[in-house]
A = this chain, B = another copy of it.
Amino acid sequence: MSIKIGLLGFGTVASGIPFLLKENQEKISAASRDRLEIAKVLVKDDEEKNRLLAAGNKFNFVTNVDDILSDETIDIVVELMGRIEPAKTFITKALEAGKNVVSANKDLIATHGRELIKLAQDKGVAFYYEAAVAGGIPILRTLANSLTSDKVTRILGVLNGTSNFMMTKMVDEGWTYEAALAEAQALGYAESDPTNDVEGIDAAYKAVILSQFGFGMTIDFDQVAHQGISNITPDDVSVAQQLGYVIKLVGSVEETESGIFAEVSPTFLPKSHPLASVNDVMNAVFVESIGIGESMYYGPGAGQKPTATSVVADIIRIARRIKDGNVGKPFNEFVRHTRIAHPDDVKSHYYFAVNTADEKGKMLRLAEIFNSEDISFEQVLQQKANGETARVVIITHSLSKTQLANVTEKLKAVADFELVNTFKVLGE
């Protein structure tokens, strides 16, 4: 007997699975209490199949998903195709056929996870997706298993390797956004259309999934505000450094009195904050909680072997639960009624970069606008007063999303001021 696996897709991550099964055979078999066997692999068409066979891949390649779905000997279907369709249809059919499913598809899980999770529960099968958040970092299982005793108050994450690689170049080496993007594309980290990575969409998918495991609440993808890194300038970066901060694209999920709030945004991190030294393509999830206090989980957010490691950990867990007769246990059992925070309750320090004419009284006017919204300053820096224009940089004390919206509107309404950038600042 062995546990038989059907792979949907044979791209980079999928081909890391046979590597682990071979290199780590003894440990994996012992943990699974059985041998794991890749029984069938779905590929797109005969051309891909022939190419893979010619390259020496000794798998049973099939081109029709039904060859896997109708194969009663297959226990676990592993979806590694990415995107929404046909992955969604295939996973749905697999769950309906009573198969356990492992997926690394964050886009799909963040947007259609709710129905897939429900279907898996109805069918009494497993639907696991550790690899969907922060690739190789075992953060979902850790939240589900180890932080059960704790109450999470906020999760902050460097969740996208591509944008973090770019921010590292921009911060450590003073590169422009454009130069960093060109390098990320040259190295294959960024796609030709980099929108998902640089605009925080990919990180927002992960924030949706983290909110389920950390807070027991399911928010919709479009409830996660996201702001990208494309308008961060070398000026912003150097001011941040001057004031003791590092800018990174940070996904955050926090619980306030009225509910949870999730967003992805460029964030000023104090240099001493553990997330501030997470560089290049690495990811990290920083968890604030009433018990542990502060903990951080760091590792590669993507890549063949790290992602495959998370996928195989899911497979092993399913294999064990098949033996134990409790495979229907949901991946995440922590479920509460979802409440979304009121903007009045969501608070942060903020950075404002404002251009203004270098004239007497402008600073007073600016101070009046902030004061009218009850916002006080923590640090103020006036730069580039060249007789014509001046740049004023403000770090505020804590203010709410409501105050932020109001002051932004007021600043935009006044012709004297050009609001260049507004970023979150993590207080110490």
Contacts and interface: CB of A to CB of B under 8 A. Distances in A.
Interface string A298-333: 111001011011111101110000001010000001
Contacts of A148: 27-28, 31, 313, 316-317
Given A146-B142, A148-B27, A324-B324, A293 B334 contact: no
A149 interface: yes
A293 B305 contact: yes
B317 A145 contact: yes
Nearest to A16: B291
A230 interface: no
A150 interface: yes
Nearest to A135: B292
Nearest to A146: B138
Given A24-B150, A293-B299, A299-B292, A145 B334 contact: no
Contacts of A104: none
Contacts of A27: 148, 151, 216, 334
A97 interface: no
Specify how many copies of this chain sit in the oligomer: 2
Interface in A86-132: 130
A84 interface: no
Contact of A290 (B24, B298, B299): B24
A148 B272 CA distance: 33
Contacts of A297: 295-298
A334 B146 contact: no
Contact of A292 (B28, B141, B306): B306
Nearest to A279: B272
A173 interface: no
Interface in A1-59: 16, 20, 23-24, 27-28, 30-31
Interface of A: 16, 20, 23-24, 27-28, 30-31, 130, 136-138, 141-142, 145-151, 216, 272, 274, 277-279, 289-300, 303, 305-306, 308-313, 315-317, 324, 326, 333-334
